[in-house]
Structure 1
Protein backbone atom coordinates (compact mmCIF):
# COMPACT_ATOMS: atom_id res chain seq x y z
CA UNK A 1 0.00 0.00 0.00
CA UNK A 2 2.96 2.35 0.58
CA UNK A 3 3.66 2.71 -3.13
CA UNK A 4 0.01 3.18 -4.04
CA UNK A 5 -0.36 5.83 -1.34
CA UNK A 6 2.66 7.69 -2.74
CA UNK A 7 1.29 7.46 -6.29
CA UNK A 8 -2.09 8.79 -5.18
CA UNK A 9 -0.64 11.61 -3.09
CA UNK A 10 2.48 12.64 -5.05
CA UNK A 11 1.83 11.16 -8.49
CA UNK A 12 4.86 8.85 -8.41
CA UNK A 13 6.85 6.32 -6.41
CA UNK A 14 10.42 4.96 -6.68
CA UNK A 15 11.27 1.30 -6.00
CA UNK A 16 14.88 0.14 -6.15
CA UNK A 17 16.30 -3.40 -6.48
CA UNK A 18 13.62 -4.66 -8.86
CA UNK A 19 16.22 -6.14 -11.25
CA UNK A 20 19.55 -7.76 -10.53
CA UNK A 21 22.74 -7.20 -12.51
CA UNK A 22 22.26 -10.30 -14.67
CA UNK A 23 18.74 -9.28 -15.66
CA UNK A 24 19.89 -5.80 -16.61
CA UNK A 25 22.75 -7.16 -18.69
CA UNK A 26 20.42 -9.58 -20.51
CA UNK A 27 17.99 -6.77 -21.39
CA UNK A 28 20.83 -4.54 -22.62
CA UNK A 29 22.30 -7.40 -24.65
CA UNK A 30 18.99 -8.00 -26.45
CA UNK A 31 18.64 -4.29 -27.22
CA UNK A 32 22.18 -4.00 -28.55
CA UNK A 33 21.81 -7.13 -30.68
CA UNK A 34 18.68 -5.72 -32.32
CA UNK A 35 20.02 -2.23 -32.91
CA UNK A 36 23.29 -3.48 -34.37
CA UNK A 37 21.47 -5.64 -36.91
CA UNK A 38 18.77 -3.14 -37.92
CA UNK A 39 20.07 0.38 -38.32
CA UNK A 40 17.38 1.66 -40.75
CA UNK A 41 14.27 0.81 -38.73
CA UNK A 42 11.81 3.76 -38.86
CA UNK A 43 10.89 3.29 -35.19
CA UNK A 44 14.51 4.05 -34.23
CA UNK A 45 15.39 7.67 -33.55
CA UNK A 46 19.08 8.53 -33.38
CA UNK A 47 20.89 11.80 -32.80
CA UNK A 48 23.94 13.00 -30.91
CA UNK A 49 21.76 13.65 -27.85
CA UNK A 50 19.38 10.69 -27.86
CA UNK A 51 18.74 7.21 -29.17
CA UNK A 52 15.18 5.92 -28.87
CA UNK A 53 13.21 2.86 -29.93
CA UNK A 54 9.48 3.45 -30.25
CA UNK A 55 7.07 0.50 -30.02
CA UNK A 56 9.87 -1.11 -28.02
CA UNK A 57 8.02 -4.25 -26.94
CA UNK A 58 6.99 -4.91 -30.55
CA UNK A 59 10.47 -4.36 -31.95
CA UNK A 60 12.16 -6.58 -29.33
CA UNK A 61 9.38 -8.89 -28.03
CA UNK A 62 11.83 -11.37 -26.50
CA UNK A 63 12.85 -8.72 -23.97
CA UNK A 64 9.45 -8.91 -22.23
CA UNK A 65 10.31 -12.16 -20.42
CA UNK A 66 13.13 -10.32 -18.67
CA UNK A 67 11.34 -6.99 -18.20
CA UNK A 68 8.38 -8.69 -16.54
CA UNK A 69 10.33 -10.58 -13.91
CA UNK A 70 8.54 -11.82 -10.80
CA UNK A 71 9.44 -8.69 -8.85
CA UNK A 72 7.77 -6.36 -11.35
CA UNK A 73 4.71 -8.58 -11.76
CA UNK A 74 4.23 -8.71 -7.98
CA UNK A 75 4.65 -4.93 -7.64
CA UNK A 76 2.12 -4.15 -10.37
CA UNK A 77 -0.50 -6.61 -9.14
CA UNK A 78 -0.20 -5.53 -5.51
CA UNK A 79 -0.32 -1.86 -6.46
CA UNK A 80 -2.94 -1.78 -9.23
CA UNK A 81 -4.63 -5.17 -9.29
CA UNK A 82 -5.32 -7.13 -12.47
CA UNK A 83 -6.70 -6.17 -15.86
CA UNK A 84 -4.01 -3.74 -17.04
CA UNK A 85 -2.22 -4.12 -20.39
CA UNK A 86 0.65 -2.39 -22.19
CA UNK A 87 -0.43 0.50 -24.43
CA UNK A 88 2.93 2.03 -25.36
CA UNK A 89 6.63 1.45 -24.77
CA UNK A 90 9.78 3.41 -25.61
CA UNK A 91 13.46 2.79 -24.94
CA UNK A 92 15.55 5.90 -24.27
CA UNK A 93 19.33 6.01 -24.35
CA UNK A 94 20.69 9.40 -23.30
CA UNK A 95 24.45 9.41 -24.13
CA UNK A 96 27.18 10.60 -21.80
CA UNK A 97 27.57 14.02 -23.41
CA UNK A 98 23.92 14.66 -24.18
CA UNK A 99 22.60 18.21 -24.21
CA UNK A 100 19.05 16.92 -24.67
CA UNK A 101 16.54 18.23 -22.18
CA UNK A 102 12.75 18.21 -21.88
CA UNK A 103 10.77 21.03 -20.29
CA UNK A 104 7.85 20.50 -17.93
CA UNK A 105 4.90 18.71 -19.53
CA UNK A 106 2.14 16.16 -18.96
CA UNK A 107 1.79 12.98 -21.07
CA UNK A 108 -1.54 13.74 -22.73
CA UNK A 109 -1.70 11.39 -25.73
CA UNK A 110 -2.23 7.69 -26.34
CA UNK A 111 -1.27 5.60 -29.38
CA UNK A 112 -4.13 4.27 -31.51
CA UNK A 113 -4.46 2.41 -34.80
CA UNK A 114 -6.37 4.98 -36.84
CA UNK A 115 -7.88 8.47 -36.86
CA UNK A 116 -11.62 8.95 -36.65
CA UNK A 117 -14.11 11.42 -35.24
CA UNK A 118 -14.91 10.40 -31.65
CA UNK A 119 -16.46 12.56 -28.97
CA UNK A 120 -13.91 13.87 -26.43
CA UNK A 121 -10.91 12.53 -28.40
CA UNK A 122 -8.91 15.49 -29.73
CA UNK A 123 -5.54 16.93 -30.82
CA UNK A 124 -4.79 14.18 -33.33
CA UNK A 125 -1.26 13.74 -34.68
CA UNK A 126 0.44 11.18 -36.89
CA UNK A 127 4.12 10.32 -37.01
CA UNK A 128 5.59 7.41 -39.00
CA UNK A 129 2.09 5.92 -39.45
CA UNK A 130 1.56 6.06 -35.69
CA UNK A 131 -1.61 7.90 -34.69
CA UNK A 132 -1.78 9.70 -31.36
CA UNK A 133 -4.71 11.43 -29.71
CA UNK A 134 -5.63 13.07 -26.43
CA UNK A 135 -8.34 10.92 -24.83
CA UNK A 136 -10.85 11.95 -22.16
CA UNK A 137 -9.24 12.98 -18.88
CA UNK A 138 -10.69 9.94 -17.08
CA UNK A 139 -8.54 7.58 -19.14
CA UNK A 140 -5.35 9.53 -18.44
CA UNK A 141 -6.17 9.76 -14.74
CA UNK A 142 -6.37 5.98 -14.42
CA UNK A 143 -3.42 5.00 -16.61
CA UNK A 144 0.11 4.67 -15.22
CA UNK A 145 3.69 4.50 -16.50
CA UNK A 146 6.62 2.37 -15.36
CA UNK A 147 10.16 3.62 -16.04
CA UNK A 148 12.82 0.90 -15.74
CA UNK A 149 16.35 2.18 -15.17
CA UNK A 150 19.27 0.41 -16.83
CA UNK A 151 21.74 2.86 -15.26
CA UNK A 152 22.01 4.77 -12.00
CA UNK A 153 20.08 7.98 -12.61
CA UNK A 154 20.90 11.18 -10.75
CA UNK A 155 20.31 14.89 -11.19
CA UNK A 156 23.64 15.05 -13.06
CA UNK A 157 22.60 12.70 -15.88
CA UNK A 158 19.03 13.77 -16.46
CA UNK A 159 16.89 12.21 -13.74
CA UNK A 160 13.28 13.28 -14.05
CA UNK A 161 12.20 16.20 -11.94
CA UNK A 162 8.51 16.31 -11.09
CA UNK A 163 6.02 18.64 -9.45
CA UNK A 164 4.56 16.63 -6.58
CA UNK A 165 0.79 16.16 -6.68
CA UNK A 166 0.45 18.03 -9.99
CA UNK A 167 -1.38 14.99 -11.41
CA UNK A 168 -4.37 15.80 -9.18
CA UNK A 169 -5.01 19.14 -10.90
CA UNK A 170 -6.26 17.60 -14.15
CA UNK A 171 -5.05 18.84 -17.53
CA UNK A 172 -3.26 22.14 -16.94
CA UNK A 173 -1.48 24.58 -19.24
CA UNK A 174 2.21 24.67 -18.37
CA UNK A 175 1.99 28.47 -18.12
CA UNK A 176 -0.43 27.98 -15.25
CA UNK A 177 1.79 25.46 -13.45
CA UNK A 178 2.56 26.40 -9.86
CA UNK A 179 5.82 24.73 -8.79
CA UNK A 180 5.36 24.46 -5.04
CA UNK A 181 7.02 21.12 -4.35
CA UNK A 182 9.56 19.81 -6.88
CA UNK A 183 11.37 16.47 -6.55
CA UNK A 184 14.36 15.14 -8.50
CA UNK A 185 13.67 11.44 -8.96
CA UNK A 186 17.01 9.71 -8.56
CA UNK A 187 16.80 5.94 -9.17
CA UNK A 188 19.40 3.21 -8.70
CA UNK A 189 20.41 0.91 -11.54
CA UNK A 190 17.81 -1.87 -11.63
CA UNK A 191 15.17 0.29 -9.95
CA UNK A 192 11.89 1.60 -11.29
CA UNK A 193 9.79 4.72 -11.10
CA UNK A 194 6.01 4.48 -11.40
CA UNK A 195 4.20 7.69 -12.33
CA UNK A 196 0.84 9.06 -13.46
CA UNK A 197 0.62 10.55 -16.97
CA UNK A 198 -0.79 13.86 -15.70
CA UNK A 199 2.17 14.40 -13.35
CA UNK A 200 4.21 17.33 -14.64
CA UNK A 201 7.74 16.10 -15.35
CA UNK A 202 10.92 17.39 -17.01
CA UNK A 203 14.52 16.32 -17.62
CA UNK A 204 17.73 18.36 -17.59
CA UNK A 205 20.92 18.05 -19.63
CA UNK A 206 23.62 15.57 -18.67
CA UNK A 207 26.53 17.14 -16.78
CA UNK A 208 28.54 14.19 -15.42
CA UNK A 209 29.37 12.21 -18.60
CA UNK A 210 27.27 9.25 -17.44
CA UNK A 211 24.86 7.40 -19.66
CA UNK A 212 21.13 7.10 -18.86
CA UNK A 213 19.12 4.24 -20.35
CA UNK A 214 15.43 3.87 -19.48
CA UNK A 215 12.57 1.65 -20.65
CA UNK A 216 9.28 3.57 -20.52
CA UNK A 217 6.09 1.43 -20.50
CA UNK A 218 2.53 2.79 -20.31
CA UNK A 219 -0.43 0.77 -19.01
CA UNK A 220 -4.21 1.03 -19.13
CA UNK A 221 -7.26 -1.10 -18.41
CA UNK A 222 -9.66 0.97 -20.54
CA UNK A 223 -11.32 -0.37 -23.66
CA UNK A 224 -11.48 2.29 -26.36
CA UNK A 225 -14.71 3.15 -28.24
CA UNK A 226 -15.71 0.93 -31.15
CA UNK A 227 -13.77 1.75 -34.27
CA UNK A 228 -10.33 2.45 -32.79
CA UNK A 229 -7.91 0.31 -30.82
CA UNK A 230 -4.71 0.70 -28.82
CA UNK A 231 -2.05 0.35 -31.50
CA UNK A 232 0.58 -1.17 -29.20
CA UNK A 233 -1.71 -3.23 -26.94
CA UNK A 234 -0.30 -6.46 -25.54
Structure 2
Protein backbone atom coordinates (compact mmCIF):
# COMPACT_ATOMS: atom_id res chain seq x y z
CA UNK A 1 0.00 0.00 0.00
CA UNK A 2 1.18 3.53 -0.78
CA UNK A 3 1.22 5.72 2.33
CA UNK A 4 2.54 8.84 0.57
CA UNK A 5 -0.63 10.82 1.36
CA UNK A 6 -0.35 10.00 5.06
CA UNK A 7 3.33 10.92 5.12
CA UNK A 8 2.54 14.33 3.59
CA UNK A 9 -0.33 14.92 6.02
CA UNK A 10 1.86 13.99 8.99
CA UNK A 11 4.65 16.35 7.93
CA UNK A 12 2.37 19.26 6.99
CA UNK A 13 -0.44 19.02 9.55
CA UNK A 14 1.20 17.06 12.37
CA UNK A 15 -1.24 14.14 12.21
CA UNK A 16 -2.93 11.66 9.85
CA UNK A 17 -5.59 8.95 10.26
CA UNK A 18 -5.68 5.52 8.57
CA UNK A 19 -8.26 2.75 8.64
CA UNK A 20 -8.04 -1.04 8.42
CA UNK A 21 -4.53 -1.80 9.61
CA UNK A 22 -5.80 -4.60 11.84
CA UNK A 23 -8.53 -7.19 11.29
CA UNK A 24 -11.08 -8.15 13.95
CA UNK A 25 -9.18 -11.40 14.51
CA UNK A 26 -5.88 -9.56 15.01
CA UNK A 27 -7.53 -7.18 17.48
CA UNK A 28 -9.00 -10.09 19.42
CA UNK A 29 -5.55 -11.69 19.71
CA UNK A 30 -4.00 -8.40 20.86
CA UNK A 31 -6.65 -7.88 23.54
CA UNK A 32 -6.36 -11.49 24.72
CA UNK A 33 -2.59 -11.00 25.21
CA UNK A 34 -3.17 -7.87 27.28
CA UNK A 35 -5.95 -9.40 29.36
CA UNK A 36 -3.82 -12.47 30.16
CA UNK A 37 -0.78 -10.44 31.25
CA UNK A 38 0.20 -10.45 34.91
CA UNK A 39 -0.89 -7.06 36.20
CA UNK A 40 1.67 -6.22 38.85
CA UNK A 41 4.71 -3.98 39.20
CA UNK A 42 5.33 -0.28 38.49
CA UNK A 43 4.48 -0.64 34.80
CA UNK A 44 0.81 -1.29 35.54
CA UNK A 45 -1.50 1.51 36.63
CA UNK A 46 -5.18 1.01 37.38
CA UNK A 47 -7.70 3.58 38.61
CA UNK A 48 -11.42 4.05 38.03
CA UNK A 49 -10.60 6.42 35.18
CA UNK A 50 -7.66 4.67 33.49
CA UNK A 51 -5.87 1.39 33.08
CA UNK A 52 -2.40 1.62 31.57
CA UNK A 53 0.58 -0.63 30.93
CA UNK A 54 3.95 1.06 30.42
CA UNK A 55 6.89 -0.67 28.71
CA UNK A 56 4.27 -2.77 26.97
CA UNK A 57 6.57 -4.95 24.87
CA UNK A 58 8.76 -5.76 27.85
CA UNK A 59 5.76 -6.68 30.00
CA UNK A 60 3.74 -8.42 27.28
CA UNK A 61 6.37 -9.68 24.80
CA UNK A 62 3.85 -11.85 22.95
CA UNK A 63 2.39 -8.64 21.51
CA UNK A 64 5.40 -7.86 19.31
CA UNK A 65 4.49 -10.15 16.41
CA UNK A 66 0.79 -9.20 16.66
CA UNK A 67 1.30 -5.44 16.63
CA UNK A 68 3.96 -5.44 13.94
CA UNK A 69 1.96 -7.02 11.16
CA UNK A 70 2.94 -6.45 7.56
CA UNK A 71 0.74 -3.37 7.20
CA UNK A 72 2.33 -1.57 10.17
CA UNK A 73 5.85 -2.46 9.03
CA UNK A 74 5.06 -1.18 5.53
CA UNK A 75 3.61 2.02 7.01
CA UNK A 76 6.73 2.72 9.07
CA UNK A 77 8.97 2.00 6.08
CA UNK A 78 7.00 4.47 3.96
CA UNK A 79 7.01 7.25 6.54
CA UNK A 80 10.80 7.60 6.48
CA UNK A 81 13.82 6.29 4.63
CA UNK A 82 15.77 6.36 7.90
CA UNK A 83 15.99 3.34 10.18
CA UNK A 84 13.52 4.03 12.96
CA UNK A 85 13.23 1.97 16.15
CA UNK A 86 10.59 1.70 18.86
CA UNK A 87 11.29 3.89 21.92
CA UNK A 88 8.01 3.73 23.86
CA UNK A 89 4.99 1.43 24.00
CA UNK A 90 2.01 2.07 26.29
CA UNK A 91 -1.46 0.54 26.50
CA UNK A 92 -4.29 2.88 27.55
CA UNK A 93 -7.79 1.79 28.47
CA UNK A 94 -10.13 4.73 29.04
CA UNK A 95 -13.08 2.90 30.65
CA UNK A 96 -16.65 3.61 29.62
CA UNK A 97 -17.39 5.38 32.93
CA UNK A 98 -14.22 7.49 32.79
CA UNK A 99 -14.54 11.10 33.85
CA UNK A 100 -10.93 11.80 32.86
CA UNK A 101 -9.88 14.42 30.33
CA UNK A 102 -6.56 15.84 29.17
CA UNK A 103 -6.02 19.52 28.37
CA UNK A 104 -4.07 20.69 25.34
CA UNK A 105 -0.40 19.81 25.56
CA UNK A 106 2.64 18.57 23.63
CA UNK A 107 4.43 15.28 24.38
CA UNK A 108 7.79 16.63 25.46
CA UNK A 109 9.20 13.84 27.65
CA UNK A 110 11.04 10.69 26.65
CA UNK A 111 11.87 7.71 28.88
CA UNK A 112 15.56 7.04 29.54
CA UNK A 113 17.68 4.56 31.48
CA UNK A 114 19.21 6.96 34.04
CA UNK A 115 19.56 10.58 35.07
CA UNK A 116 22.55 12.56 33.79
CA UNK A 117 23.55 16.22 33.82
CA UNK A 118 23.67 16.98 30.10
CA UNK A 119 23.21 20.14 28.06
CA UNK A 120 19.77 20.43 26.41
CA UNK A 121 18.27 17.59 28.49
CA UNK A 122 15.89 19.36 30.90
CA UNK A 123 12.78 18.97 33.08
CA UNK A 124 13.72 15.66 34.65
CA UNK A 125 11.05 13.47 36.26
CA UNK A 126 11.01 10.13 38.07
CA UNK A 127 7.66 8.33 38.02
CA UNK A 128 6.71 4.69 38.49
CA UNK A 129 10.36 3.67 38.63
CA UNK A 130 11.49 5.32 35.39
CA UNK A 131 13.26 8.54 34.43
CA UNK A 132 11.75 11.02 32.01
CA UNK A 133 13.42 14.03 30.41
CA UNK A 134 12.77 16.65 27.74
CA UNK A 135 15.46 16.01 25.10
CA UNK A 136 16.89 18.36 22.44
CA UNK A 137 14.12 19.54 20.14
CA UNK A 138 15.64 17.75 17.13
CA UNK A 139 14.80 14.43 18.81
CA UNK A 140 11.19 15.50 19.40
CA UNK A 141 10.84 16.73 15.82
CA UNK A 142 11.97 13.35 14.51
CA UNK A 143 9.66 11.30 16.73
CA UNK A 144 6.74 9.54 15.05
CA UNK A 145 3.80 8.50 17.23
CA UNK A 146 1.47 5.73 16.05
CA UNK A 147 -1.71 5.18 18.05
CA UNK A 148 -3.39 1.83 17.36
CA UNK A 149 -7.13 2.01 18.08
CA UNK A 150 -8.65 -1.17 19.47
CA UNK A 151 -12.11 0.45 19.57
CA UNK A 152 -13.93 2.88 17.31
CA UNK A 153 -13.15 6.29 18.74
CA UNK A 154 -15.11 9.48 18.15
CA UNK A 155 -15.80 12.79 19.90
CA UNK A 156 -18.03 11.03 22.45
CA UNK A 157 -15.42 8.61 23.85
CA UNK A 158 -12.23 10.59 23.97
CA UNK A 159 -10.96 10.90 20.40
CA UNK A 160 -7.91 13.14 20.32
CA UNK A 161 -8.44 16.77 19.40
CA UNK A 162 -5.50 18.44 17.65
CA UNK A 163 -4.45 21.89 16.48
CA UNK A 164 -3.26 21.30 12.88
CA UNK A 165 0.21 22.58 12.02
CA UNK A 166 0.97 23.46 15.66
CA UNK A 167 4.02 21.16 15.54
CA UNK A 168 5.68 23.65 13.19
CA UNK A 169 5.93 26.22 16.01
CA UNK A 170 8.38 24.27 18.16
CA UNK A 171 7.81 24.04 21.91
CA UNK A 172 4.77 26.13 22.86
CA UNK A 173 4.18 27.53 26.35
CA UNK A 174 0.84 26.58 27.87
CA UNK A 175 -0.14 30.25 28.13
CA UNK A 176 1.06 31.07 24.62
CA UNK A 177 -1.11 32.99 22.14
CA UNK A 178 0.49 31.20 19.19
CA UNK A 179 -2.50 28.87 18.81
CA UNK A 180 -6.26 29.02 19.07
CA UNK A 181 -9.13 26.55 19.15
CA UNK A 182 -10.71 27.80 15.93
CA UNK A 183 -8.58 25.33 13.97
CA UNK A 184 -9.31 22.39 16.28
CA UNK A 185 -9.81 19.04 14.54
CA UNK A 186 -11.22 15.86 16.12
CA UNK A 187 -9.36 12.73 14.99
CA UNK A 188 -12.05 10.07 14.83
CA UNK A 189 -10.54 6.63 14.16
CA UNK A 190 -12.24 3.38 13.19
CA UNK A 191 -11.65 0.19 15.15
CA UNK A 192 -8.46 -1.37 13.78
CA UNK A 193 -7.24 1.95 12.41
CA UNK A 194 -4.32 4.10 13.52
CA UNK A 195 -3.60 7.75 14.11
CA UNK A 196 -0.18 9.15 13.24
CA UNK A 197 1.04 12.18 15.14
CA UNK A 198 4.05 14.38 15.75
CA UNK A 199 4.60 14.80 19.52
CA UNK A 200 4.91 18.59 19.14
CA UNK A 201 1.35 18.71 17.78
CA UNK A 202 -0.93 20.25 20.40
CA UNK A 203 -3.49 17.62 21.39
CA UNK A 204 -6.16 16.99 24.02
CA UNK A 205 -9.03 14.61 24.78
CA UNK A 206 -12.44 14.99 26.41
CA UNK A 207 -14.29 12.90 28.94
CA UNK A 208 -16.20 9.87 27.71
CA UNK A 209 -19.91 10.62 27.33
CA UNK A 210 -21.33 7.69 25.34
CA UNK A 211 -20.50 4.80 27.68
CA UNK A 212 -18.04 3.20 25.24
CA UNK A 213 -14.44 2.12 25.76
CA UNK A 214 -11.43 3.75 24.14
CA UNK A 215 -8.54 1.30 24.19
CA UNK A 216 -5.37 2.49 22.46
CA UNK A 217 -1.81 1.25 22.07
CA UNK A 218 0.55 4.22 21.90
CA UNK A 219 3.86 3.62 20.09
CA UNK A 220 6.71 6.09 19.63
CA UNK A 221 9.53 5.72 17.13
CA UNK A 222 12.80 7.57 16.68
CA UNK A 223 16.09 7.29 14.79
CA UNK A 224 18.50 9.11 17.11
CA UNK A 225 20.88 7.77 19.71
CA UNK A 226 20.89 9.86 22.88
CA UNK A 227 23.90 11.71 24.27
CA UNK A 228 26.01 9.29 26.32
CA UNK A 229 25.67 8.03 28.98
CA UNK A 230 21.92 8.27 28.34
CA UNK A 231 20.09 5.53 26.44
CA UNK A 232 16.45 4.99 25.59
CA UNK A 233 14.65 3.03 28.32
CA UNK A 234 12.97 1.06 25.52
CA UNK A 235 14.81 0.31 22.28
CA UNK A 236 13.48 -2.26 19.83
CA UNK A 237 14.81 -2.41 16.30
CA UNK A 238 12.19 -3.34 13.71
CA UNK A 239 12.94 -6.15 11.30
CA UNK A 240 11.28 -6.68 7.96
CA UNK A 241 10.92 -10.44 8.40
CA UNK A 242 7.49 -11.54 9.57
CA UNK A 243 8.82 -14.31 11.86
CA UNK A 244 10.60 -11.99 14.31
CA UNK A 245 9.66 -8.33 14.38
CA UNK A 246 12.19 -7.00 16.90
CA UNK A 247 15.95 -7.19 17.39
Q: 1:158 is matched with which residue?
A: 158
- Give the superposition deviation at 1:4: 1.1
Partner of 2:5: 2
1:147-181 Cα shifts (integer Å, max 9, x gaps): 00000000000000000000000001121142241
Q: Structure 1 CA distance, aligned partners of 2:33 and 2:39?
A: 15
Any stretches of 5+ residues in structure 1 without a counterpart?
A: none
Residue 28 in structure 1 maps to residue 18 in structure 2? no
1:147 aligns with 2:150: no
RMSD over aligned Cα atoms: 0.9
The C-alpha deviation readout for 1:69-118, integer Å capped at 9, x for no partner, is: 00111111012224101111110001111101000000001110000111
How many Å separate the matches in 1 of 2:174 and 2:61?
A: 36
Q: How many pairs are equivalent?
A: 231
* Per-residue deviation, residues 27-48 of structure 1 (Å, max 9, x unmatched): 00000011xxx23322111111
Once residues 40 and 220 of structure 2 are traced to their aligned partners in structure 1, the CA distance between those partners, rounded to angstroms, is 25
TM-score, normalised with respect to structure 1: 0.97
Structure 1 segment 90-169 matched on structure 2, within 5 A: 90-169=90-169
SS in 1 for 2:76: helix
Name the counterpart of 1:174: 174
Runs of 5+ in structure 2 lacking a partner?
237-247
List structure 1 segments (4+ residues) > 6 angstroms apart after TM superposition.
none
The two structures have a TM-score, normalised by structure 2, of 0.92
Query: Where does residue 229 of structure 2 map in the other structure?
Result: 227
Q: 8 Å contact 2:53–2:92 — kept in the other structure?
A: yes
Structure 2 residue 19 is matched with structure 1 residue 16: yes
